[in-house]
Amino acid sequence: MSRIHRLVPSKTAFFACDLQERFRLIVHSYPSVLKTAEKMVKAALIMECPVIASQQAPRAAPPGENPDASMALVDIGETVPLPLHELPSPILRPSWVPFVKTKFSMVVPEVEKQLKEWDTKSVVLFGIETHVCVLQTAFDLLERGIDVHVLADGTSSANGDEVGLAIKRMRDSGAQITTSESILYQIMRDSAHPGFKALTGLIREYDDSTRDSLQHLIGGRGF
């Protein structure tokens, strides 16, 4: 019998996986992924859900060199600008994020320690690439007994055809496949929630980009 996966804000963390400038030109529908991530980070502040962000093996320019615009988009490993600075540390995020990793999964010892301190029961997961870092993060979290909610409108890969299979693998392994808007209402649960007005305003603000994300990242993929 399947289990209902409830979300409680104080027990839920948002994972933003490897949203970096150097992937901007190669990942399928990357602007849509970024818009969803931006919305989720802003929602985290309203709902007081902690956020952990990662960078995958970023490469920096040699000392003293100023990279041109094309290099900045492809070679430099800086995290794509997201409103992470709006999240007060350490209340919503530890001071060491975005953290640099070489492991594909985001579940490194520092993250495991943080999740235990927060007593995290659920993780909302988005970012790139779906079939590599997102997939392995989901598997590691599931193995540790943490519910995983993957945002289908917030994840992609360089090869868009990899996405559907990876999402099916995560779903078959026990992850919940959902969308950004659905998950936000699921966390809120009640229109009497004190953050209702702010959160629904945020959702309306991102109506157009959410529609685009659904079309570009989910439309016709059959999952």
Strands (DSSP E) contained in 10-146 are 12-17, 51-56, 99-101, 122-128
Which one of 17, 35, 133, 212 is the catalytic residue? 133
d(CA 48, CA 28) in angstroms, rounded, equals 30
| pLDDT (0 to 100) of residue 72 | 38
Sheet-wide strand order for 99-101: 99-101, 51-56, 12-17, 122-128, 147-156, 176-178
d(CA 173, CA 185) in angstroms, rounded, equals 24
Domains annotated on the chain, with CATH: 9-218 (3.40.50.850)
Which one of 101, 140, 147, 212 is the catalytic residue? 101
If we measure between CA atoms, which residue out of 171, 196, 201 comes closest to residue 185? Answer: 196
Whether 133 sits among the annotated catalytic residues: the reply is yes
Inform me whether the pLDDT recorded for 78 exceeds 60: yes
Whether 168 sits among the annotated catalytic residues: the reply is no
Average pLDDT score over residue span 139-166: 96
Name the band, by pLDDT with cuts 50, 70 and 90, for residue 89. confident
Inform me whether the pLDDT recorded for 71 exceeds 90: no
Whether 207 sits among the annotated catalytic residues: the reply is no
Burial of 24 (0-12, 13-18, 19+ CB in 10 A): middle
Name the band, by pLDDT with cuts 50, 70 and 90, for residue 83. confident
- Between 71 and 40, residue with greater pLDDT: 40
